Amino acid sequence: MNQAKQVPVTLIEGDGIGPEITAALVAVFESLGQPVGWRPASMGAKAFEQSGEALPSETVASLRYTGLAIKGPIQTPLAVGFRSPLVRLRQEFQLFVNLRPNRTLLTGSGRPPLDIVVVRENTEGLYAASEAYIAVGDDPRAVAVATAYNTRAGCERILRFAFEHAVKHGRNKVTVVHKANVLKILSGIFLETARDLYQTHYSGCFELEEMIVDACAMRLAMTPEHFDVIVTTNLFGDILSDLAAGVTGGLGMAPGANIGEGLALFEPVHGSAPDIAGHGVANPSALLLAGAMLLDHIGKASAAARLRAAIVATLNDDRVRTSDLGGTASCAEFTATVRCRLQDDSL
């Protein structure tokens, strides 16, 4: 493709299996005719080791310039060490949407095919809380506290995104997930805003369903086909979106996007998989599907559809699967088959 037509995209390979699956993404985009121009940047544990910064300022500058990025997983130390660079980015770029489509792509499971979109608020709730210890007697860490907040404006912007998404994609139902029976104020404001917004602007466009988070978790596990679009607050969304990924094919198949005013950042849902890093067996599908979401986002819907179709054909017609899906293919073999499928004009 003419370089002038290539959309500039910041490419962050990340840690663990990140470099292996990013190489797969770059190769597959080459087969798609190179619709984007990659601008490599670093972030995460490797960046921290090399430069002392988990989120180097050059990376932030690149993100500001391109407004578009795709990243591999980032290894974040537990409880101690550097703060999650992704959480920092969500705050700095106000990436208030976490969009997680979960679609069954593997045939032959015997379960009905699923297509569940989880829209999670990304910047408020408990994850925006400041945490502290309170000393009692001799124990300086006797009590751990965190103060969460949800704003009406924050609730409204994520609900509006979810409702618009439902309308644009012809969805029939949006389930608003909350815990307003216990957290009457913190979660109540979300539910109240959903009801108001629906009644004022979206009444009749789709069905609005309300569900308490624990009931939602059970129904997702037992009858996931009940769901269409789910919209919820930060912590509940974090948990439910992984649950939805689990029932539709596992973490190796789940893409996601973090979207704000000036930046859209696409990623696989899974982590850096340190247990298999460097073995060449990682499933690159989640990152490739994140690439398809990126293509949709920049208006290249036919390239996105071709990419998804090539992945589906590789998994089901060619029966080429990595070990997380019960197969024996390496990451490179899977990638080569997807590229081969992309040569197929019937896709």
Number of residues that bind ligand NAI (CB under 6 A): 20
What is the nearest approach in angstroms of ligand NAI to the Cβ of residue 212? 26
Instruction: Please identify, using beta-carbon distances, which residue of 274 and 299 lies nearer to ligand NAI.
Output: 274
- Can residue 85 be called a binding residue for ligand NAI (CB under 6 A)? no
- Alpha-helix runs per DSSP H in the chain: 18-31, 45-51, 57-66, 85-92, 152-168, 188-197, 213-222, 234-247, 285-297, 301-316, 331-342
- Which residue in the list 5, 139, 214, 317 is annotated as catalytic? 214
In the bound state with ligand NAI, the residue whose beta carbon lies nearer, of 98 and 150, is 98
The one among 75, 102, 233, 258 contacting ligand NAI by CB under 6 A: 75
Concerning whether 242 is annotated as a catalytic residue, the answer is yes
Strands 68-71 and 7-12: parallel
Q: Does 249 sit near ligand NAI (CB under 6 A)?
A: no
Q: How far apart are CA 258 and CA 9, in angstroms?
A: 14
Closest C-alpha among 120, 121, 126, 129 to residue 152:
121
Helix, strand, coil shares of the chain, percent, nearest 5, are: 45, 25, 35
Q: What angle do CA 264, 193, 100 make, to 5 degrees?
A: 30
**Tally of residues, the chain:** 347
Q: Indicate whether 272 belongs to the interface with ligand NAI (CB under 6 A).
A: yes
Is 196 annotated as catalytic?
no
76, 175, 335, 337: which one binds ligand NAI (CB under 6 A): 76
Instruction: Give CA–CA dist 109/148, Å, rounded.
Output: 40
C-beta nearest to ligand NAI: residue: 271
In the set 46, 71, 179, 300, the catalytic residue is 179
Catalytic annotation, residues: 127, 179, 214, 238, 242
Interface residue list for ligand NAI (CB under 6 A): 17, 73-76, 86, 251-252, 267, 270-276, 282-283, 286, 324
